[in-house]
Amino acid sequence: MKGSRFYYEFYNPAKVEAGIGCLEQAAEKLPLLGLHNAFFVCDRLENNDSADNVRKAVNAAKVRTGAIYVCEDKIVRLESLRDMRDVYRANNCDSIVACGSYGVINAAKTLRMMLAGQVARFEDAKGIDAVRKKVNVPLVAVPTDVGTSNVASDDVTLKDDEGAVFECVSPLCIPDFCIIDPKVVSVRDADAPIAGALESFAKNIEEFVSRQAVTLTKCMNLIAIREVRDNFVKSADDPTDEHAVFGLQKAGLLAGICYVGASAGIAHAISGALASVTGRERYICTGIIFAECMRYNLEVAEKDYAQAYYYIVGDDKYAATPAGERAEALIAAAETMIKEKFGANRLATRLSDIGADEELLDKIVEETMKSYALVTNPRNVTKEDVYAILRSVM
Partner 1 sequence: MFFFAKGIACCYRYDEDFRRYVGMLPDNFVFRMRVLPDGASVTVTKKGDGITASSGKELTVYPDVDVCFKNIEGAYSFLTGKKSFAVCLAQSAFVIKGDVSGMMTVSHMFDIVGSYLLTVRTLKKYDRALLPRTAGVHKVRFMTVFGRF
Partner 2 sequence: MSTFGFSNDVKILCGDHALDNLPYELRERECTRPLLISDERSYRLGFVKEVRHAMDNDIVALGATYYKISEKATPKDCDDVINLYKAHGCDGIIALGGENVTQCAKVAKLMLLQGVGDFVYFNHKFDMDAEKLAYGDLPLFILPTEIPCGIEATDRASVFDEKNNLLYNFESVLTRASAVILDVRLTDIMPAKAMATAGLGALAMSIKGFVDNTTNPIALAYATSAIHTIINELLPAMRHNSNADYRISIYSSIINAGIAYYAIDESLLRDIATELSIKTEHSHLQILSIMFPVYYKEKVTTEKPFKSVLMPLVGEEEYALSNAKSREIKAIDKIKDFWESVVALAEIPSRLQSTGIEQSDFVKLADAVITRYRGTDPHNNFTTIVKLLEEAF
Query: Which residues 6+ apart lie within 8 Å of 336 measured at CB?
Result: none
Residue 39 pairs in a beta bridge with 67, 96
Piece in contact with partner 2 (CB under 8 A), picked from 42-50, 54-62, 189-197, 211-219? 211-219
Which of 144, 150, 153, 307 lies at the binding interface for partner 2 (CB under 8 A)? 307
Query: Which residues 6+ apart lie within 8 Å of 285 measured at CB?
Result: 270, 271, 272, 274, 275, 278, 354
Site size toward partner 2 (CB under 8 A) is 49
Query: Which residues 6+ apart lie within 8 Å of 226 measured at CB?
Result: 311
Q: Can you say how many angstroms the Cα of residue 323 is from the centroid of all Cα atoms in its chain?
A: 32
Piece in contact with partner 1 (CB under 8 A), picked from 219-227, 305-313, 330-338, 365-373? 365-373
Q: How far is the CB of 371 from partner 1 (least distance, A)?
A: 7
Between 34 and 127, whose beta carbon lies closer to partner 2? 34
**Other residues' Cβ atoms within 10 Å of the Cβ of residue 188:** 12
Which of 2, 5, 121, 346 lies at the binding interface for partner 1 (CB under 8 A)? 5
Which of 35, 209, 351, 374 lies at the binding interface for partner 1 (CB under 8 A)? 374
Separation of alpha carbons 21 and 64, rounded Å: 22
Rg (CA), the chain: 20
Restricted to residues 307-346, the positions that interact with partner 1 (CB under 8 A) are: none
Query: Which letter, b or e, does each residue of 6-44 get, where b requires 16 or more Cβ atoms within 10 Å of its Cβ?
Result: eeeeeebebebbeeeebbbebbeebeeeebeebbbbbbe
- One symbol per residue from 218 to 237: x for binding partner 2 (CB under 8 A), - otherwise; what is it? xxx-xxx--x----------
Please say whether the beta carbons of 239 and 252 come within 8 A.
no
Q: How far is the CB of 221 from partner 2 (least distance, A)?
A: 9
Q: How far is the CB of 117 from partner 2 (least distance, A)?
A: 12
34 binds partner 2 (CB under 8 A): yes
Q: How far is the CB of 130 from partner 1 (least distance, A)?
A: 4
Q: How far is the CB of 204 from partner 1 (least distance, A)?
A: 18
Piece in contact with partner 2 (CB under 8 A), picked from 47-55, 280-288, 295-303, 317-325? 317-325
250 binds partner 2 (CB under 8 A): yes
Piece in contact with partner 1 (CB under 8 A), picked from 31-39, 84-92, 162-170, 284-292? 162-170
Q: How far is the CB of 162 from partner 2 (least distance, A)?
A: 32
Q: Can you say how many angstroms the Cα of residue 69 is from the centroid of all Cα atoms in its chain?
A: 22
**Other residues' Cβ atoms within 10 Å of the Cβ of residue 329:** 18
310 binds partner 2 (CB under 8 A): yes
**Among partner 2, partner 1, none, partner that 307 touches (CB below 5 to 8 angstroms by kind):** partner 2
**Among partner 1, partner 2, none, partner that 109 touches (CB below 5 to 8 angstroms by kind):** none
Residue 323 half-sphere exposure toward CB, CA atoms < 13 A: 1
Between 126 and 183, whose beta carbon lies closer to partner 1? 126
Restricted to residues 239-268, the positions that interact with partner 1 (CB under 8 A) are: 263
DSSP letters spanning 15-48: EEEE-TT-HHHHHTTGGGGT-SEEEEEES-STT-
Terminal-residue alpha carbon distance, the chain: 54
Residue 142 pairs in a beta bridge with 99
Which of 92, 336, 352, 380 lies at the binding interface for partner 1 (CB under 8 A)? 380
Restricted to residues 81-140, the positions that interact with partner 1 (CB under 8 A) are: 124, 126-130
Separation of alpha carbons 89 and 386, rounded Å: 44
Q: Which residues bind partner 1 (CB under 8 A)?
A: 5, 7-9, 124, 126-130, 166-169, 211-212, 263, 366, 369-372, 374-376, 380
